[in-house]
Amino acid sequence: MPAGTNGGKGIPLVIQVGKWRKQLVIPTVNACGPNDLDALFNTGTGKARQLRLPANGGEGDMPLIAFTSGCDPAECFLRHVGIDDAEFAPPSTAGKHVHFYTAQDNTSGQPASAVSGGNTPAATYTWWTDSANLLKYDIVFNACECYPYDRGATAYGAMDTYLKGGGRLFTTHYYGNWFIPTTGTADLQSVAEWGSVAKAGQESGWAQNIPPGTENDTVDQSFPKGVAYAAWLQDNGISTTLGSIGLTDTRDDILAPAPAGCSGASCLSTRWLYNAGNQHPRYLSFNVPVSVPVAQQCGRAVYSDVHLSGVSNDQAFPAECNNPGIDQPTGHATNEKALEFLFFDLSSCVQNDTAPPPPPTPLQ
């Protein structure tokens, strides 16, 4: 960083991950000496809260997110990572960055949580059958509905088209039917060896084992980002043993990355966390289009076999996040923190996960 005042204009400091971008200005940079940014940006409280990604559109740039609700109130996770409540709005609301699409909650048999003025589950299911609707968004985020509802005859192809067009998709549990046999498109099925088979609108074929309490999982450190992930978990007090973390409310729908027996660059997907006993992944990501050189890939998806925020009571947003019974079984705060890294990684530039992230191109 250059020293001085930049001719009285100050020195810009940019914090960015993909389309998340915040710019601050440091009036003066002292050369070869301390520069107390905490005192400058947060009046010396020791928190430096301004040195973070934007919480709302007034603070900087944010991706446009389409969020679908469910039995797992993952909208609470988005709040906990710092997105302001005011950014959550009904679909197509101009100037807001989290468009809230109401979906199903199979545990209650009624629509899941919605925002004031939001849409209906029927409208949400119609919306994602057209890739043109999906392609308006930088990220699509699906909260588990506690049942593998059929997404619609044309929806699976539409989601594949969205990903091939550069879309980013974050899914949990039963939204795995975007990918797994027999509903997912052939190329998306090919990224992993799936332990479950989706039959449209049916429970049959899905792994139903729900381990009680906490499951000790292992961080895959065989690739550079996995090493960084393990260190990040420990540095932030999320894990106490490097490369190990206790998660709750897990499922078991993935056997391994594919093709069978692959490792490193020969795999079509990346395993981030896995059960040490059976080696089955709990978090998996992959780039799209599948089976093409990395330079030709522009889309990315994350599949989590871990429930995120607990149990929704289907109240209007954000009341469900204050539900005293939300953390059932206990431990979802750790689940959310562990998934935060992957959520922001989803927003970053698509790259070869087996190689270290490349540094930005110098301006001069």
pLDDT, tens digit, for every residue of 127-156?
999 999 999 999 999 999 999 899 998 999
Give the pLDDT band (50/70/90) at residue 42: confident
Res 335 pLDDT > 60: yes
Alpha carbon distance 210, 172 (integer Å)? 14
User: Torsion angle, CA of 317/322/323/328, rounded to 10 degrees?
Assistant: 110
pLDDT at position 210 over 80:
no
What does the H/E/C string look like for the chain?
CCCECCCCCCEEEEEEECCEEEEEEECCECCCCCCCHHHHHHCCCCCCCCCCCCCCCCCCECCCEEEECCCCCCHHHHHHCCCCHHHEECCCCCCCCEEEECCEECCCCEECCCCCCCCCHHHHHHHCCCHHHHCCCCEEEECCCCCCCCCCCCHHHHHHHHHHCCCEEEEEHHHHHHCCCCCCCHHHHCCEEECCCCECCECCCCCCCCCCCEEEEEECCCCHHHHHHHHHHHHCCCCCECCEEEEECECCCEEEECCCCCCHHHCCCEEEEEECCCCCEEEEEEEECCCCCHHHCCEEEEEECECCCCCCCCCCCCHHHHCCCCCCCCCHHHHHHHHHHHHHHHHCCCCCCCCCCCCCCCCC
Q: Which pLDDT value is given to residue 344?
A: 95
Which tens digit of pLDDT belongs to each residue from 151-170? 998 999 999 999 999 999 99
Question: What average pLDDT score do residues 334-358 get?
Answer: 92
pLDDT band at 25 (very low <50, low <70, confident <90, very high): very high
pTM: 0.94
Give Cα 346 to chain centroid, integer Å. Answer: 6
Instruction: Determine the pLDDT at residue 37.
Output: 85
Q: Are 348 and 146 in contact (CB under 8 A)?
A: no
pLDDT at 41: 84
Average pLDDT over residues 324-350: 94
- Compute the distance between CA of residue 173 and CA of residue 147 in angstroms, rounded to an integer: 9
Both tokens of 98, joined, read 């989290």
The predicted structure's pLDDT at residue 236: 94
Domain locations in the chain as residue ranges: 1-51, 65-347
Would you say residue 348 has pLDDT above 80?
yes
Amino acid type, 206: W
Interatomic CA distance for residues 251 and 306, integer angstroms: 6
Please state the φ and ψ torsions of residue 146, each to the nearest 5 degrees. 65, 25
- Predicted confidence (pLDDT) at residue 273 exceeds the cutoff of 90: yes
Weakest mean pLDDT among 173-182, 209-218, 225-234: 209-218
What are all long-range contacts of 34-37, with beta carbons under 8 Å and residues at least 24 apart? 37/13
Fold of 65-347: Rossmann fold (3.40.50)
What was the pLDDT predicted at 166? 97
Q: Using an 8 Å Cβ cutoff, are 190 and 323 in contact?
A: no
| pLDDT higher than threshold 90 for residue 213 | no
